[in-house]
A and B are shown apart, each in its own frame.
Chain A
Amino acid sequence: MVVLNFTLTPQAASKLHDLLVCLGKFSDTVAVEARREKFTFTALNSSKSAYAAVTLDGKLFFTKYECIPSSGGPDGRFTCSMYTKALLSVFKGRLYDPLGRDGAIDRCEVSVQERENETQCRFIVKMVCNQGVIKTYKLTYEAVDVMHALFDRSVAKNYWSMSSGVIKEYIEYFGTKTEMLDIFAGEDGRCVFKSYTEKISNGKEILKHPLVTAVAVSTSDFEQFTVQAGTHIVISVKDFKAIVVHADTLKTSLKAYYSQPTRPLQFSYGCDGLLCEFTLMTSGDYTGAPLTSTPAPQTLGSRGASRAPLTVTDRTSIRSDMPPPTEPASRRDRSGRLRNPGSRQSSSAAQEDPESLFIPDAQDARRREDDEESAWAPLDYEKEETLGWDASADHDASVFPTFRDSGSMSTTNMSDSNEVFEPTQRVSQIKGLW
């Protein structure tokens, strides 16, 4: 018999939505582990190559949090598993809306009903909305044992951290449909994020090959960067995108810890009592570049050392053990131009009104551009244009004295017609009118 009750502010409930969206990109089900002090969501993808854990601190994240597991004393826990989609249909977007529009809530109360004297075990979510409306959702769950992926940070000698907003810009350059991401620490003070797909075919098919995108970033753009020069580490680009997009909703820095290819990598970020840790499988140095015997030059900045915690000294000493692979040809070709950017301003900037007092909002401009772009796209005639239909039954006719058939009449009517019409029905479906 477990006691688990907690209350969320609208902001926290909306964060719950964001994290569920992220976890949903890894797995259909999400596992819950509640302890006395903290509440954890975990997800493991089907190929077991990615494990995600989001820990919510009992005191910091929740307005009220109470968990008394049925057994185990102070280390006891309550675990279960639920469909991510089911949770998402409860924790919808826009739960937090400062203007109090539709969908906004006042608070959210969650409790677990698991008692011997009750027939049903349910995960109960009460959304307390404005004007005294309370929406109660009862979700089924499955009792499972929750396992955690272990990650030993003391072995992960490579470490970097960067603003999630900046990384989000980088992932926007990536082509669609690519599979892999290679994070490469160069010896020239640059880190390269490269999205690509393993070679699939030859001949005519070659033109269907997705774009290969490499984003070379100065390591000084990182908040911290302590990585053995020459290290390639390869992860799934889809996982990376999901993580970065979620980290950006929290506006925090994304931190990465890893040792070497084929050993796990961990991304970590969080704030305000929410901590996300993603442990991902990595694969080897895909270029297969031969190792040179020259030791890695210690170029990775005095700056990193001055900012990094004390352990950095240990890391640098170990770093020289691993010789770097040679630079891939594609980068060598370009290196001549690396520090010679053209001086030309982007044309979009040139079009701005020089007299204007206002700094154009980049996002706004992009949105306008997108709208304009879509206006020129060939029209998609498959897309149905339909009138909106409010099926929520909130405006119940019974409130007003309207005429209605007796209950029995209407049910027989219903059973007579086998054909079910959609609320927006095609004219062609109406028989006998024309």
Chain B
Amino acid sequence: MRFKASIQNITTFTKLTASLNSLGPLAWVKLSEEQVCFTIIPEQGTQVWAVLSIDSIFRDIFVQSAANNVINLEVPLTSLNRALKSALNATSAQIRLTKKDNMPMLALTIVTTASSNALPPATANNDDGFDAPFDDEFGRGNRETIVTQEIPVRVLAPDTVAGLHEPQCRDPDVHIVLPPLMQLKSISDRFTKLALADTKSGSGTIASRTRLELAANMHGCLKMSIRTDALSISSVWTDLNNPELDPSQVVGGENGIAAHPSTRMKQLGSADGRSDEGWALVRIDGRDWGKVMSVGRLGGRVIACFCHEHALVLYVYLPQDDGDNESVLTYYVSSYSA
């Protein structure tokens, strides 16, 4: 079993691990030479199934195993993120699977040069402060430092992961491109906070208090609202984009689109978001939603698919992708019943 790769895009990889880490401490990582999959299945809350093309994070990848050259690992995300952070200013970084004392680990080897602000001070009694230490800088090597970070991992047998399946969902009623996530996050955080403050002395579990209602229609509207005994607030976005379905991707082609739930939803509701009709609604936990929104740091395009009173599925497309080998993170948020 061998895995070795150069990290092509350290920033993306670091942000990815940070986003995933907010949902759960452990990730199932499936490595092959075609793609890398990160899956987070927390005990409760949102699941993430991310499929990344190799070149969105790695370069010169080498994967070899007895099981069809696929390696399954369980990786602690906090450690991985921490290790990757030390590579942010690196000139190069490599990752490989290795064993130490019979324990598997991912070894991250980072080549870095010290930044200029850490140059050695000039002589101790350098009073004028203008005596820049250039001699030292050029005289004492190029300050190349090699940092190795060893992240403990667990190798998962093919049988262990065979039972893990990506959730299946019926065709969505509404699909819509979400507004910038930072905007969405700051508003949902504010809502959640207000709901928590309002009912601090009241009854009910915390989960029932922080329940956000998220709804969208096929006319470019998104509505977020929260309701408690004392308050009811909502924000409505209009003029968002409902992407057209691609007949080649829908079962049944053109006919399939005609029968698609979203086609029916197009007949209902209005573009100003005032109509009561045509909304597909889900109830989600505000705090869990805040964790999901953490993916915004990757800066990708997000399409939300609403299955009315059932589930919300987010597709996050990494920005630098070029059509063919797309990297997509899929978030499955299930809806609470009323």
Q: What is A's interface to B at a CB cutoff of 8 Å?
A: 162-163, 165-166, 168-170, 172-173, 175-176, 190, 199, 204, 206-218, 220-221, 223, 251-253, 271, 329-330, 333-334, 337-338, 341-348, 362-363, 372-373, 375-379, 381, 385, 426, 428
Contact = CB atoms under 8 A, between A and B. Distances in A.
Given A212-B149, A381-B287, A428 B200 contact: yes
> Shortest 8 CB-CB distances between A and B: which pairs?
A342-B92, A163-B120, A376-B297, A212-B150, A165-B118, A220-B141, A341-B111, A428-B201
Interface string B96-118: 00101101010101010011111
Contact of A213 (B111, B116, B148, B192): B148
Nearest to B287: A381
Nearest to A341: B111
A173 to B, nearest CB: 4
Nearest to A207: B76
Contacts of B9: 347
B149 A213 contact: yes
A343 B113 CA distance: 12
A211 B79 contact: yes
B241 interface: no
8 contacts: A163-B120, A211-B82, A220-B140, A338-B146, A342-B6, A345-B91, A347-B11, A376-B293
Contact of A207 (B107, B147, B154): B154
Nearest to B110: A173
Nearest to B148: A214
A333 B294 contact: no
A209 B105 CA distance: 11
Nearest to A203: B154
B271 interface: no
A382 to B, nearest CB: 9
Q: Report which residue of B100, B120, B125, B297 has the largest number of chain A beta carbons within 10 angstroms of its beta carbon.
A: B120
A215 B287 contact: no
B196 interface: yes
B114 A169 contact: yes
Contacts of B267: none
A213 B86 contact: yes
A176 B76 CA distance: 14
Nearest to A194: B148
A69 to B, nearest CB: 31
B4 to A, nearest CB: 11
A173 B119 contact: no
Nearest to A376: B297
Nearest to A347: B11
Contact of B120 (A165, A347, A362, A378): A165
A209 B91 contact: no
Nearest to B182: A375
Given A330-B148, A377-B22, A221 B143 contact: yes
B144 interface: yes
A124 to B, nearest CB: 33
B89 interface: yes
A163 B91 contact: no
Nearest to A362: B115
Contacts of B56: none
A337 B150 CA distance: 17
B26 interface: yes
Nearest to B104: A206
B148 A166 contact: no
B296 A173 contact: no
Interface in B39-87: 74-76, 79, 82-83, 86
B240 interface: no
B192 A218 contact: no
Interface in B111-133: 111, 114-121, 124-125
B279 to A, nearest CB: 26
A376 B11 contact: no
Q: Report which residue of A210, A221, A381 has the largest number of chain B beta carbons within 10 angstroms of its beta carbon.
A: A381
Given A271-B124, A375-B182, A206 B103 contact: yes
B86 A172 contact: yes
Contacts of A377: 22, 294
A173 B294 CA distance: 24
Contact of B200 (A341, A375, A426): A426
Given A253-B120, A333-B98, A175 B149 contact: yes
Contact of B83 (A211, A348, A378, A426): A211
B86 A173 contact: yes
